[in-house]
Structure 1
Amino acid sequence: MVYGKVSNSKGCVRSGLNKRARYGGFRLHRLPPDIICDIFSRLRFKEAARTSMVSRSWRRLWRCYPNLVFTRKTMLHGSITDDHLAATFISRRPLKNFIVKFPLLGRDDAHHIDGWVSFSAASRAGQIVLDLCPEDQEDTDMMNGMYSFPLHIFFSGDNCVRYLSLGFVSLTIPPDLNLSGFTNLKKLGLHMVSIRGDLQCLLSHCNVLEWLSLTQCSLQHRSICQKLRRLRYLCVRKCRLQKLHLQAPNLTEFELTNYPIPIVLAECLNLSVATIELVSFSDCLSYVSTELPAGGLYHVQDRLSINMTVRTESRGFAESIGRFNNLKHLILNIDVQGSSDNGSGILRLASLLEMAPCLEELELNMYCPSAPIYTKRGQLDKLSSVCVHKHLRTVRMTGFDSTRGQLELAFQILRSAPNLDRLIVDPMVRVAWSPRLDWSEQADLMLVRRMMAENRLLRSEYRHMITLL
């Protein structure tokens, strides 16, 4: 029986070999061109290029590859100079992705980059990424040698670009701009771009824009007043804006890094997540409690994150004219400036809780550079009237060094949240801008801070609600 099975298997093998010999075997190049192009689109760039060495008939097959990515990772040296090769690419089918990521070395590179941009537009690329940012992005002298992006290439309506990302270029926007080539643009990202002219003129031609990011851009007109009805995501970081007035009914996520400015987000009823980083050494609590909710951020539903400065010598509570009625999660990253003997400056943060009646989770990440290692015991202040927060379940306080203001705020929260599950106290500073200590200094400091927190918090009537990390 055993020998019979082996014999049968050998017969099957011979039969398969005979069939292959009869039909000539499988030939990939005999597949229809559309299927071959689909196979090549699933390969990486280098793998697709290497197929040209398989045979003479394959030498031109890889040119239908739809994703051209030229970065340090994919291309160490060299450049494309074969005009016939470029013409073959253009005549085949639209590109999906055209990505160039290299530091701009000098002005002599401009004519090469002009060719790349013209090629990507002529190839009807859906995604165009031109990132020429220098390795040292803090070097301000490099800003004078920016590449001038040829925006006129996209004046015609033949382009299919849906995603455009530019880095370290200058962009000149004429007042009589007729940009029909951006009618399909859904994503626009500008990083370290010098914009000459009115950005609003450019945005007015992007009727289907859904994603917009402006980071470290130099704007000639430092205000944005625009209708973008399909916009879902907006990020503006370090652009020195003076005013932001936006009408975007579909906006769901908003990020801003700027000094305090007037903000109006009209009709943003679907706003879910917002991140605000205020660049200022002055006390920002009044701005946060008045300007932000009045400007449209009262629509934020899921998470609001705010980076700001609070000064301990500031007294009184900001009078709020709006509320965050739907907010569930509030994150405050606070740079506490001033003497730690003044507690009223930090205790004023309790006013933000009164503005969020549905708040369920609160994170207070604090950095107190002037806090002493040991704090004196004394009578703690409390607010005369306590607003009850029925929905608040979890509070986390990091950078807790038992200063007077922190202790007063912690007890104020414990008194006003009857349904609080736990207050998590973490002596470790968690904000990104705090200086880094070596391991031994950090360990000694944490030991002292934990001991102080135990003496002041875990001996109170609320100790069963407190978790000390």
Structure 2
Amino acid sequence: MEQDTPRRQIKGRNASIGSLAKGKGSPCHQDDASQTGKRKRYSGRHLPEDIWHHICSFLPLKDAARAARASHVFRDSWRCHPNLNFTKETMGFNQNARIRNKMTTKYNSRVGHILKNHSGMGVKTLHLQFYGPYNASTSYCLDSWLQIAVKPGIEELTLVLNSESEQSLNKENYNFQCSFLSNGSGNSIRALDFIGCAFRPTKGFGCMRSLTSLSLGSVHITGDELGFLLSNSLALERLEVSCCNDIIFIQIPCLLQRLSSLRVSQCDMLQVVESKAPNISSFDIHFHGKNVEMLLGKSLRAKEIKISHPCVLQDARTTLPSSMPNLETLTIYSYGENFSTPMLPSKFLHLKYLVITVVEWAFPDTDDIFSLISFLDASPCLETFDLDIRMRRQGHGWILEDASQLERIPGHRYGNLRCVRIARFCSRKMLVKLTCHILENAPSLECLTLDVAPDRVKHTRSADDPIKFIREAPKALEAIRTCIEGKVPSTAKLIVLEPALSC
């Protein structure tokens, strides 16, 4: 019977709104139709308003806007939609370069129309990407939009100013007004993500008591201004600062007891990073071609660090064992380092995963590569070793020797080492000797991977000449067959990755 027709169920974000907007199959609709003989529009007013707001909150922004056209109920709910995500993709614009300017104008107009019709109440998430041009008019436009959406109760705020070039991002295209985070609006924010704008907190900046994640990319902010912000964000757990070229000194106060993750990269004017936060467990610090002084104190809880700067191999070997004694994962990216890593008695007592990438290393001496053995000898618990060496020049040339000519290198036993991978493996004597040394001192080795194919990493920055590497591949394969295969224990698996046939 018609009365037994089931209502459609709402299933999260994929809910069908057609039946709800029109009320097909609902008993109320059928009763009205039987009395008048005509099909009536279902208003849904018998449900409380907050229920309709909750239903609307499950819909993506574009679907919620469409539903608002179909029903007065959804139109009212749309005015309180909690998740506002404005990008050209979510707003239905494709990336056609020929009509980019016209598309940008339409995009900005559509975002403005939606926000002006929004009540500003109940917004939990605002993700706003803005596409220039940047001038006084667009600043006024952005201010008006943010005034609507940034209200007490907002939890996530992302502002991305897109630009055709990085040079434009280096200009102060838009100055985010700190007053937007006053009057209680800043108290509820858990995540703040700014890209390409200026942000100038002052000494009297308000409390950000709920802020747990802060990400600043290409943002105009000084070290002092960042300090004012951090000192008022005591719940902070994650901090990321990248390409903020006004910062000279970053100081992480000891008040940030909950801070567990710190990432700093490519701030051109930065000279010092000092952290007094006691509970950071993950560091990610990258500076290519620039030496930044790092004062990380006794980071006893640190278990992971990714680090890159001109003297990184030497600094990592000399300072990290004592400053981060509980380190478990160490990722090093060295660029243009031309000196040996010292052999020291200090140990990485808990290190399990070691990844070393060396770019444009000249290797002035034939045995320089064996300074890397210092890291292996210092890591008694090491389980995985991943090495990628990208040489600026081949120095002493490509050579191939019989295994009997490779003298044995004294070293420690690597009793826990199970997995070793060497990328860009070649027949150069030092790489062959290093591989043999590992095989002779790693009784628990389960897998050795030697990758002689540069095409697997062609999308990364590399100093290698791919043609030279492909021509060298047969020599590398012969070196593996002659010098290495016979040393691989029966309990271990040797994997050789050769160049693709298309090469």
State TM-score, norm by structure 2.
0.78
Partner Cα distance (2:185, 2:360) in 1: 54
1:407 to 432, 438, 443: 432
User: Are the aligned partners of 1:399 and 1:428 in contact in 2 as well (CA < 8 Å)?
Assistant: yes
Deviates more, 1:240-249 or 1:352-361: 240-249
1:187 aligns with 2:213: yes
The residue that corresponds to 1:5 in the other structure is none
CA shift, 1:288, in A, is: 1.9
**Alignment check: 8 A CA contact 2:354 2:384 kept:** yes
RMSD: 3.1
The 1:81/1:347 distance shift into structure 2, 3 A limit, reads closer
Report the residue type matching 2:358 in the other structure. I
Structure 1 match to 2:119: 89
1:34: which partner in 2? Answer: 50
Q: Secondary structure at the match of 1:349?
A: helix
- Partner of 2:159, secondary structure, is strand
Give deviations 1:249-287, integer Å, cap 9, x for gaps. 443322111244343444644433321122x3xx64322
Shift of 1:63: 0.8
Is residue 478 of structure 2 the alignment partner of residue 454 of structure 1? no
Deviation at 1:233, TM superposition (A): 1.8
8 A Cα contact 1:310 1:346, kept in partner: no
Rounded Cα–Cα distance in structure 2 between residues aligned with 1:135 and 1:54: 38
Residue of structure 1 aligned with 2:352, choices 321, 324, 328: 328
CA contact (8 A) 1:358 1:391 kept: yes
Report what 2:99 is aligned to.
none
Identity of aligned residues (%): 24
Deviations 1:220-260 (CA, angstroms, capped at 9, x unpaired): 33232422211122211112432222233443322111244
Give 1:417 shift: 1.7
Aligned pairs (5 A) from 1:21-420: 23-24=31-32, 28-56=44-72, 58-75=74-91, 76=93, 77=106, 78-79=109-110, 86=116, 89-90=119-120, 93-108=121-136, 109-122=138-151, 124-137=153-166, 140-159=167-186, 160-174=188-202, 176-180=203-207, 182-196=208-222, 198=224, 199-227=226-254, 228-240=256-268, 241-258=270-287, 259-266=290-297, 268-278=299-309, 280=310, 284-296=312-324, 298-301=325-328, 303-309=329-335, 314-315=339-340, 317-320=341-344, 322-338=346-362, 342-371=365-394, 374-377=398-401, 379-380=405-406, 382-383=408-409, 385-420=410-445
Work out whether residues 126 and 163 of structure 1, in 8 Å CA contact, stay in contact via their aligned partners in 2. yes
User: How many Å apart are 1:290 and its aligned residue?
Assistant: 0.7
Deviation sequence 1:283-316 (CA, Å, 0-9, x none): 64322201233333x3222x2211114757x45x
Q: 1:444 to 1:29 in 2, by over 3 A?
A: farther
Give the TM-score, by structure 1 length: 0.83
Q: How far apart, in 1, do the equivalents of 2:450 and 2:57 lie?
A: 52
Q: How many residues align?
A: 440
Residues in 2 aligned to 1:21 and 1:155: alpha-carbon distance in whole angstroms: 48
In the aligned structure 2, how far is the partner of 1:74 from the partner of 1:318? Answer: 53
Further displaced range: 56-65 or 202-211: 56-65
Which ranges in structure 1 are unaligned for 5 or more consecutive residues? 1-11
Name the CA shift for 1:184/1:87 in 2 (closer, same or farther; >3 Å).
Answer: farther
Change (3 A) 1:225 1:56: closer
Query: How many angstroms does 1:74 deviate by?
Result: 2.6
Amino acid at match of 1:420: L
Matching residue of 2:9: none
- Greater CA drift, 163-172 or 262-271: 262-271
